[in-house]
Amino acid sequence: MHVLGARPNFVKAAPVIAALRTAGAEQAVVHTGQHYDARMSEIFFAELGLPEPDVNLGVGSGGHAEQTAALLIGLEGEFTSRSPALVMVYGDVNSTIAAALVAAKLHIPVAHVEAGLRSFDMTMPEEVNRRVTDQLSALCLVTSPEGIGHLAAEGVPVSRTHLVGNPMIDTLLANLDSFDTGRVRAEHGLPERYVLATVHRPANVDAPETASALVRHLHGVADLADLVIPVHPRGRANLLAAGLDDHPGVQILDPLGYIDFIAAVRGAAAVVTDSGGLQEETTILGVPCLTVRPNTERPITITHGTNRLVTFEELVPAARKALESGTPPADRRPPLWDGHAGPRIAEVIMEYLGE
């Protein structure tokens, strides 16, 4: 049983579900409804060829306690009635940790795709979710080599750990021909040259004063080049209240589907983000990425990719440098980011279930 709750989960799960289908596994999909906006959930199922969910719990938004409580109750009912042999969770959202907790207490083994990532910043809800999920998982499916060391340092037995590569990159490479920047530029009226931005982290958008400071520096980027920003539901009110759309060089979009969004990323002169997955996607697409965070759980995107961590104050100078330098030279890809993580994960799963 796959438990999916938010955009990154869908992108990672698609190649895993396809590979397990080929291997003959009987599967079920639970959509928790953590991302309830159709543009951030349903469209992804259609675009990525995911099967229709067997159930949608429809938990929606809310505080961490409220949302996680609803997830625990809903998932316990599904796991009890369906008795899966294995629960598969993805990434680090609240749906991930809730599924791991419920499965562990029902003595159902858990497989965690994207295990071992660490920012070492316990103020991030995602870091709490990652660490606890890995401790509860029978299979830790790791996307990059440093994750092996992190898990070992936390006492996770090596027998539970498998370096499989990054299924998000499987999805990216499988859809390369669909990322038509020209079409997306025409449909959404994007300028010829633009910086694309996405911001949604609580540390950046939840406090009005922080959101205002971020908007001030985003306006500085817009002084250099047009800034296109699909606004995530989280933080939308604070960012708009801070005057995000007051600058003539800022173009606000509603959230985009996967194909349109990555096409827009592919055509950008640079990306400004606080997302985790986008650091990985820009690494493969060769787009300069400025991550507005003090840390990243994906350091391999810095050593092997196009990513750079920046503070608010560093954002405009870094954007100027990225725009002047142009597309970085192609570098080597991180190990096993080759489009075949899904089949490797399926092999591990089928062997485990066979045993």
Catalytic residues, by residue number, are 200
Asked if 203 and 238 touch (Cβ cutoff 8 Å), the reply is no
* Nearest C-alpha neighbor of 322 from the set 280, 279, 274, 286: 286
Q: Which has the closest alpha carbon to 228: 244, 207, 252?
A: 252
Query: DSSP state, 121?
Result: -
Provide the residue count of the chain: 355
CA gap 78, 65 in Å, rounded:
20
Name residues whose C-beta falls within 8 Å of residue 256's C-beta, 6 or more positions apart in sequence. 39, 230, 264
- Can you tell me the distance from the alpha carbon of 264 to that of 161, in angstroms, rounded to the nearest whole number? 35
Q: How far apart are CA 185 and CA 138, in angstroms?
A: 45
Q: Which residues contact 313 (CB under 8 A, 6 or more apart)?
A: 217
Tokens encoding 25: 């596994």
- Find out whether 69 and 40 touch, Cβ atoms under 8 Å: no
Residue corresponding to tokens 């870094």: 318
Burial label, 323 (beta-carbon count in 10 A; 0-12, 13-18, 19+):
middle
90 contacts 4 by C-beta, under 8 angstroms: yes
Closest-CA residue to 161 (of 119, 113, 227, 195):
113
